[in-house]
Amino acid sequence: MLAVEFETHVENGIVKIPAKYRDIMAGDLKIILLKPEKTTKIPGKQNTTQLKRSRSIIEKGCDISSFGDPVQWQREVRKDRKIP
């Protein structure tokens, strides 16, 4: 069995075969359709020290004053995840 691979856009149920394959792919074909999955961004390694600190604060009663500067705390938590 001869196999070729290409990417195309399906419009109204029509799959267009690129011109360079039309002659060799004429006649009966076995079609297998693969649709790429949407990828999700996986954040980098999280700042586990900050997360553990946050968890301990919450478990002790959520004393927000122990965070110090909340903006700086957020920057530290997000530092490894490339979130603006």
| Paired residues of 16 in beta bridges | none
Q: Note the pTM of the prediction, 2 decimals.
A: 0.39
Please give the average per-residue pLDDT across 6-31, as a whole number: 89
Please give the average per-residue pLDDT across 13-30, as a whole number: 89
Task: Summarize pLDDT for 33-81 with one digit per residue, the tens.
Answer: 888 777 555 555 556 777 777 777 777 766 666 667 778 877 777 776 6
Please check the confidence at residue 14 and state whether its pLDDT lies above 80. Answer: yes
* pLDDT reported for residue 45: 55
DSSP 21-70: HHTTT-S--------PPPP-PPP----HHHHHHHHHHHHTT--GGGG-SH
